[in-house]
Amino acid sequence: MALAWTWRRFAELTVDDVYDLLALRMKVFILEQVPYLDADGADRRAWHLLGRDGAGALQACLRVLDPGVKFDQPSIGRVAVDASWRGRGIGHELMRRALDHAASQWPQRPIRISAQAHLQRFYRQHGFETVSHEYLDDGIAHVDMQRSSS
């Protein structure tokens, strides 16, 4: 079964979209990983990609932050796939869609991410290179990675 993908700016998200988005991110990032403040104020300055299954349940999401919100460059983050959908290439599909979207919004701009260190190989498959030393963010090892403009 495939997911139906939708891009929306924060102001275009419905109440149900916001609820579903926060619920999935809490499930993946807080319940599976560590407690932290997910509602960091950056969502309002981002594009949000939502992937819903045939029943309308949100199974995957991410956000693309405008330049200047987290880094000088556009940034991809909060990449989340429900555990029941992992292993099907959904994370790669999310990244392909995010990179295409960022290229259409900010042509010729590099993209920067703060990646969990253990996911460097995944992001390298999408053209990212590690550009920082490892650091802790909410108790999890991270690195900054950057992808040159295409």
* CATH code of 47's domain: 3.40.630.30
Q: Can you tell me the distance from the alpha carbon of 35 to that of 32, in angstroms, rounded to the nearest whole number?
A: 9
Residues 6 or more apart whose CB falls under 8 angstroms from that of 57 comprise: 20
* 140 vs 145 pLDDT, higher one: 145
Number of domains making up the chain: 1
pTM of the predicted protein model: 0.85
pLDDT(150) > 70: no
pLDDT(76) > 90: yes
Structural domain harbouring 141? 4-147
